[in-house]
Chain A
Amino acid sequence: MMKLVGRTGLYLALIASSIAMLVPFYWMLTTSFKLEGDVFAYPPEWIPQPATILHYVEVWTSLPFARFLFNSLFVAAMVTLSNVFFCTLAGYAFGKLKFPGRDKIFFLLLLTLMVPFQVNLIPLYKLMDLFKWLDTYWALIVPSATSVFGIYLMRQYILSIPDEILDSARVDGCSEFGIFWRVVAPLSLPGVATLAIFTFMGSWTAFLWPMIVTGSMNMRTLPVGIALLQEYHTTNWTQIMAGSTIAALPMIIVFLFMQRQFIEGLTAGAVKR
């Protein structure tokens, strides 16, 4: 009996809190279908009446949204791939290999996490200028091609791989890279999934750097493009919500599909133990 009450209570709490998480998204969605004057109607409109898809049309036609989507996708994919490669490799090296200076170098890398990105804006911009990378994909991809946080993450994960497996592979005559490729990499796939999702997310939602470093319409990414919907002293809430919905969808789809691997990844490594 107690158990039933307990379980009902549990479900109630879960449902209530999940609703609290979803309501703002519901609001984003419904606002994108409202008329501008109804956005702040009081009492708030739960269901847009009247509803219109005009804003989606406006947003899609007044801005090259398809291009923004492509740019965001391309950049995020490249950044994710390169991060997966570099961070797993380096994570393995810092975690399992012994070499002089290993801990000192790792510590120096970690230090960079404590400096806010904004302070490097000007020097980085100048660097992009120097390399002639302004307003190109290079500027969007290369500075983010690796992340210290990613290295940290992969190192954590790889640390849990038993040394014996690696040693025996080594003794069997496997090359260092071979060990990485054939032993470590497959075992770290779950961690890689986690890294991939976080990296993709970070790149997809990045705003400040892409805004500063790109300017022409066909180089902008989604967040920067959406910012264009803002006008002097007025926010087109409906249009911005429409744009934001379009921008949020891919991430949601990616997560829904990769969710199983992602969560499996976090748990599989653990269960194995």
Chain B
Amino acid sequence: MEISTGRRIGLAIRKYYMAYLFILGPVVLTMVFLFIPMISSFAFSLTEWSGIQPPKFIGLANYQRLIFHDRKFIKSFINTTIFVILGQGSGPVFGLLSALALNQRVRFRAAFRTAYFLPVMTSLVVVATIWKMLYNENGLVNFLLKMVGLPTTRWLMNPSTALLSIIVTSVWQGFGFETVIFLAALQAIPKELYEAAMIDGANAWNRFRHVTLPSLRPVIVMIYIIGIIGTYQVFDQIYVMTGGGPLNNSQSIVGYLYDNFHYMKFGYASAVAYILFAILALFSYLQMRFLGREE
């Protein structure tokens, strides 16, 4: 197709100008409602600010304090990391398993899918409140455990079990999301690949290893990246179920940030956020380096 140079240039200019126009809305909105607050709160992280009195510039003192002297911050970081490892270790696995199951020719697929996805659609606060009831000393969880002779405890009030209990609730609530995504991805794998593998004499496990998993790789990567970044910011369910206790054993990083709001230490709280940001940014960078372009 031959087009004149003039028309080509005209098209190019038009192309850029329209592109900028297309992204104008989101960019302006993000600038005003995300960037400016972010810059503002980053500035506060360099100050000591009670909110009522004017802020006092103290450089990186907040950061130093948090990383080297703040026992509670370190604890919240460890708690959150455990949360991420256990949560992201099990959630996507359940998601994949359930998706594989649903991908077989089963009847009532839509009903099962709805069951898995129902918790995902429910507010975290509602889910956390319901589970708070279930974890009660006289609640359903202990009742069922007793029936099968397993030990019971006050799940949310026991410092050793509080965090774990919340993780169970979170995974219950969230894995349906992965189920749906994996199911869609599984159904996108061309049948020919499986047929070819079967002709080659591959059994079910090998088919899974050599056809399914590689095809799912981009989806798995995406789920993990989103999952890790998101789970590091966990807050709602902990706030509702334990408030971070007992003994700060279930406190998350963002939960600790929020506590500092109550102490009227807004500069300190902001520093917590930006340490988290630095960690997540580092993580994204590493992931990009070693796993290729972030798709």
Contact = CB atoms under 8 A, between A and B. Distances in A.
Does A associate with B in a complex? yes
Contacts of B130: 24-25, 27-28, 241, 244
Contacts of A5: none
Interface string A107-142: 001111111111111111001000000000000001
A23 B116 contact: no
Contact of A270 (B18, B118, B143, B184): B184
Interface in A247-273: 247-248, 251-252, 255-256, 259-260, 263, 266-267, 270-271, 273
A216 interface: no
A176 interface: yes
Contacts of B131: 24
A142 to B, nearest CB: 7
Nearest to B147: A43
B3 A171 contact: yes
Interface residues of A, number: 90
Given A24-B130, A127-B33, A207 B41 contact: no
Given A98-B15, A120-B38, A145 B121 contact: no
A273 B180 contact: no
B35 A223 contact: no
Contacts of A247: 123, 126
A156 B124 CA distance: 26
Most buried by A among B18, B104, B121: B121
Contacts of B119: 21, 24-25
Interface of A: 7, 10-11, 13-14, 17-18, 20-25, 27-28, 31, 39-44, 85-87, 89-90, 92-94, 97-100, 102, 105, 109-124, 127, 142-143, 145-146, 148, 151, 156, 170-171, 175-177, 180, 201, 204-205, 207-208, 223, 237, 240-241, 244, 247-248, 251-252, 255-256, 259-260, 263, 266-267, 270-271, 273
A147 B125 CA distance: 21
- Per DSSP, are chain A's interface residues mostly helix, strand or loop, or mixed? helix
B19 A97 contact: yes
Interface residues on B, range: 35 or more
B160 interface: no
Contacts of A93: 19, 22-23
A89 B117 contact: no
Contacts of B11: 170
A68 to B, nearest CB: 13
Ranked 3 nearest A-B pairs via Cβ: A270-B188, A205-B123, A119-B273
A215 to B, nearest CB: 18
15 contacts: A14-B101, A17-B116, A18-B111, A21-B116, A24-B131, A40-B133, A89-B23, A89-B25, A112-B30, A118-B261, A122-B51, A142-B33, A180-B22, A251-B121, A267-B188
Nearest to B269: A119
B94 to A, nearest CB: 8
Most buried by A among B118, B140, B273: B118
